[in-house]
Amino acid sequence: MKYTVLALVTVLMSGCAAMSDSEENGLSSIKTPGAGAIKPTSGKEAQMLIAQSQTAGDIDAMVYAYTQALAFREFDKVELYINIARLEHQRKNNARAEQAYRNALQEDAKRQGAKEGLALLLIDMKRHQEAETLLLEVVTADQARLGKVSAETGDCVTNAESPWRSYNALGLLSDILEQGQQAREYYRCALQIQPGMAMLHTNLGFSYYLESDYPQAEQAYTRAVNQEPEYERAWSNLGLLYYRWGRQSEALMALRKIMSQAEALNDLGYIAMMEGEYDIATSLFQRAIDASPRYYPKAVDNLNQARSMQSANNRR
């Protein structure tokens, strides 16, 4: 029987790790104090080592345990490599994570979780074209699984097992390329799969915001905060939206959901300064300083910067 390995980390990518005695697999050994204290001699011992490392929550120990398990037939090698890559990605060992994902795909080129994880890693590494190719392969395979011939956006067919992370990532890439309509179609596909996910509503809202469609952006952000009232990025984006929309009091109220009055005024001041609205910025920074119960160096520095930028602008 094959042991099922459950990773205890939650990230957007699938992942795995490196090997200890694995030069032939392209992954160097893990040198961590205590991680290699036990070298399993059987699949059962390897499973115990994995369980112990997960209970401890020690990433180095988990990587070592998954690596050791690669030597035993009881385990799914692809799953082990994915877990290793996920952990290496989490601690920003991107080269090791990429190698682990590629080892997983050498074992099983059709394992879509490994392909998706590698694509999400490549986005972090700014290798967007490679990532897009892999993501399109993932969603095309899923559409084929559900009986749809093409992976064209706009009418995607999905179910609960469909790869929402891939659709979301394709949306992000499309926004980077200033292909807003296509980005929003991808986000809607992701939302078909995860309709209650605040992050996806926020990404959709930001895509509308980038094209100055403020009513649609507001609607999406509002859905996000209704789904997850403490989701900071949605409130922050909503504050930015309201400020750009000329609704300063509502911008302040949105930011106050996630920060103090002084911090909210300082953030609005920074937005105004970046917009070249120096009079408004200096007023907001001064209000932030007055609202803070103690000395607020960031707002003081911003106030001085805004005054300097205003002075330089007046001399032109």
pLDDT band at 314 (very low <50, low <70, confident <90, very high): confident
Write out the two tokens for 65.
């345990």
Domain end position, chosen among 146, 166, 182? 146
| The predicted structure's pLDDT at residue 316 | 72
Give the helix ranges, DSSP H, for 76-147: 77-90, 94-107, 112-124, 128-145
What whole-number percentage of the chain has pLDDT above 90? 82
Contact predicate 309/273, CB 8 Å: yes
Record the tokens describing residue 251, joined without a space: 């911008």
Residue 249 inside a domain? The answer is no
Structural domains counted in the chain: 2
Residue 86: the pLDDT is 97
CATH number of the structural domain spanning residue 131? 1.25.40.10
End-to-end CA separation in angstroms for the chain: 76
Helix axes 180-193, 198-210, angle to 10 degrees: 170
Q: Is 176 among the domain residues? A: no
Binned at pLDDT 50, 70 and 90, residue 176 comes out as very high
pLDDT of 95 > 50? The answer is yes
Residue 289 resides in a domain: yes
Q: Which of 99, 129, 146 is the last residue of a domain?
A: 146
Tell me whether residue 25 is in a domain: yes
Domain boundary among 98, 127, 146: 146
pLDDT of residue 280: 95
Q: 247 in helix, strand or coil?
A: coil
Q: Which residues contact 206 (CB under 8 A, 6 or more apart)?
A: 175, 217, 237
pLDDT score recorded for residue 223: 98
Tell whether 98 is covered by a domain.
Answer: yes
Instruction: Note the pLDDT tens digit of each residue in 125-142.
Output: 999 999 999 999 999 999
> Can you give the residue range of the structural domain that contains 93?
1-146
269 and 139, same structural domain?
no
More confident residue, 276 or 29: 276
Q: How high does pLDDT run on average in the chain?
A: 88
At 312, which CATH number?
1.25.40
Whether residue 81 lies inside any domain: the answer is yes
Q: What is the pLDDT of residues 182-222, one digit of tens each?
A: 999 999 999 999 999 999 999 999 999 999 999 999 999 99
Residue 47 one-letter amino acid: Q
Is residue 33 a part of any domain in this protein? yes
Q: Under 8 Å CB-to-CB from 263, ≥6 apart: which residues?
A: 255, 288
Amino acid occupying residue 222: T
Residue 252 lies in a domain: no
The reply to whether 140 and 279 lie within a common domain is no
CA 312/CA 16 separation, integer angstroms: 52
**What is the model's pLDDT at position 153?**
52
